[in-house]
Amino acid sequence: MSDQPRYRPRERFWPYADVPEEPTDEEIAALDPELREELFGPTSRAFSITIAFPRFDREDYPQAVEIARGSAEYLEVGSGERFRHRARFLPRDVERLRDLWGIVGNLDQAEVLIDDRPVPYARELWLPLFWFLLLR
């Protein structure tokens, strides 16, 4: 048996791609709100309502996506059956929120998040309270 190795190891030990040391704005936005608060401290984000909805088979789906993309913050998360559009609306966007909810509100998989968190009675209580902003 020879003392010569059969292969020569590479000089670069770690086979990982170069990634930035700081997370991007998109990665930070995708964090869970409680994790974001723990990592970066409390933020002074404005009150918001987020609507999350899956793909659906109706002719008004493209209109729903267009309205969602016009929100203050829009994200597409997941894949396959778990894919969701997430549209975050501020109080000044109440009309667009109402328009989107008019399209996706009857979907069982549509979620309403208050300040990016699931809250009891978000559909039944918080959304109707938000509609009062339409009166101003």
Q: Domain 46-135: which CATH class?
A: alpha beta
Which tens digits make up the pLDDT trace of 44-98?
777 899 999 999 999 999 999 999 999 998 989 888 888 999 999 999 999 999 9
pLDDT at 111: 93
**For residues 117-130, average pLDDT:** 87
Residue 133: Cβ-neighbour burial (10 angstroms; 0-12, 13-18, 19+) = middle
pLDDT reading at 41 higher than 70: yes
pLDDT at 77: 86
pLDDT at 30: 62
pLDDT reading at 23 higher than 60: yes
Query: Which two three-digit tokens encode residue 4?
Result: 């010569």
**Residue type, position 111, single letter:** E
Domain locations in the chain as residue ranges:
46-135
Closest alpha carbon to 45 in 97, 96, 89: 89
Q: What is the distance between the alpha carbons of residues 126 and 105, in angstroms, rounded to a whole number?
A: 14
Handedness of CA 135, 105, 66, 77 (dihedral sign): positive
